[in-house]
Each structure stands twice: as structure tokens, then as C-alpha cells.
Amino acid sequence: MLVSLGIFIFVSQAAFGISEADLKKMPLPNNRIIKITGHPQYPPFVWKEKDKNELTGIAIEILKMAFAEINVKTEIIFVETWGRAQEEVKLGHIDILVPPYKNEERIQFYKFSNKPIFMDETVLFVKKGKKFKFTKLSDLKKYKGVAIINDSFGTEFDNFEKSDLNLTRLNETEQCIKFLEIGRADYVVAGLYSGLSIVHKLKLNDSISIFPKRIIITGMYAPISLKSQWNKPEIEAYLDSKIMEYENKGIIKKLEKKYFELMNKLY
């Protein structure tokens, strides 16, 4: 396995004839500054720090580390909502978005790497003690659901939602959880850790639970805007190789531990 990882890293960087040493010296866009934004409520992967308009999390630290190694400065930009963050990257105002799922619509606007940074689970949050049946997507037709604007839950769910679901989209995960708590919704669709952090924050652990059946388990990425000057094959190859390297060295596992512990303290 170590040999195959090494081969992958070598090939992905060498495929364009540009080494890491070359990237350190060659001219790069915007005076070697790359702009990054992300989901404001998706701990431990990325979230807004309390009382600061700054983003932190595993994904942010990984990108800072990777770009620092080729002498590129990262400018981390907080955007108030997930929907707006996606739009800013789509338009090319910001270069990188973390940590979206890949779907058919998004690949029209963002260049996704070959390998996700993390795997994630999309789940349903429901009221404890309330009868709720879900074995297939069609079971959700009779319920009122909520989720945040522009969040994707995999192609199958997204397509089903367009014609068959009573699903209201809100600006923030916290709004969604509050809708569930006061009875304005029967379920919330959200990422497992993102939703859990809000449930803990609002001290609703005794009244809200996670339904056992998952909607999807899929990868989370750090794609580059197709309109960004940083949309270059050598940068994509470099990020792919760094993700593999950080996995191989156990760096990502250490960061996961660090930020899960921080998340638990905060929430």
C-alpha cells in the first residue's frame, strides 16, 4: 500500500511535468495568494469561530498547510451563509470552497479533485418519541422537512426533492433544528456532525435524535472555481498528492482528533 501511494503521488505531480519544487518558484496567480471560503456551520470540518468572523476546522488547516509548502498564502474569507459561499466561488470571486459533496450540478461550476478530503454522512434529525417511518425516500412524502439552502444530499435525494418532497430550505442549520423542535417540521436533513453540533449547542439532546437510516455516505471536497485563475491542472494534481501524503503520514487523523475535541468543548 505504501508503494502504491508513493506511485500515485509521484504520477499525479509528474503528470504535468511540474514538481513541488517547481511550484515553489514558478509564477502563480494573485501574487501567490489564494482565497478560500466554506460552510459557516459544518464542524469539525469547517465553521465560524465564536465571536469572530473567521473560519476554522480540519479542512481549513489542511489547505493552509498544503499551500504553505509551495509558498502560497491563504486568505480565509468568512461568508455568512452556505448558499452565498457557494455563489461567491461559483462566480470566481473566491477560489476554493470547502467542503461540498460532488454532484452533477456542481461540476458545472467547480473543479473537483479525484479524491475527497473526508467522508461524510447525511442523516435525518427527528423528534424523540414521535412516530416516524423511513425505509425509502418515498416514505418522506407525507412529512414536512427542512434543510439549508443550496445543500446537496446526493443526486438521488436532490432529484427526488424537486418533484416529490415537502422540503423547506432555510439559511442556517440552527434555524432548521429550531423548526423541528417547535413542530414546524417533522425532520431535518443535515450532515451528521454539523447537525449534532447544533443540537448540542441548543441543549436539545433529550428531545432530538438521529434516525438510524442514512440518506447517503459520500465524500467532501475542496474544489476550485472553474472561473478562478487557480484552476490549473498542476494545482489540482498537487492538492491530490498532498491529501494522499497527509493521509499516509497520519496527519489527517491527528487533525480530526484535534478538531473533534475542540468541537466537543465548544458545543
State pLDDT tens for residues 150-159: 899 988 999 9
Q: Give the pTM.
A: 0.87
Chain centre to alpha carbon of residue 47: 10
Question: What's the confidence (pLDDT) of residue 120?
Answer: 94
Question: What's the confidence (pLDDT) of residue 128?
Answer: 96
- The CB-side HSE value for 155 (13 A sphere, CA atoms) comes to 6
State pLDDT tens for residues 201-222: 999 999 999 999 999 999 999 9
Question: What's the confidence (pLDDT) of residue 16?
Answer: 53
Question: What's the confidence (pLDDT) of residue 266?
Answer: 79
Query: Across the chain, what does the average pLDDT equal?
Result: 92
- Does the structure show a pLDDT above 50 at 14? no
Between residues 246 and 263, the one the model is more confident about? 246
- Does the structure show a pLDDT above 80 at 149? yes
Give me the CATH code for the 2-117+221-266 domain, please: 3.40.190.10
Determine the Cα–Cα distance for residues 231 and 137; give it in Å rounded to an integer: 37
Q: For the chain, which residues make up each domain, given as ranges?
A: 2-117+221-266, 119-217
Give me the CATH code for the 119-217 domain, please: 3.40.190.10
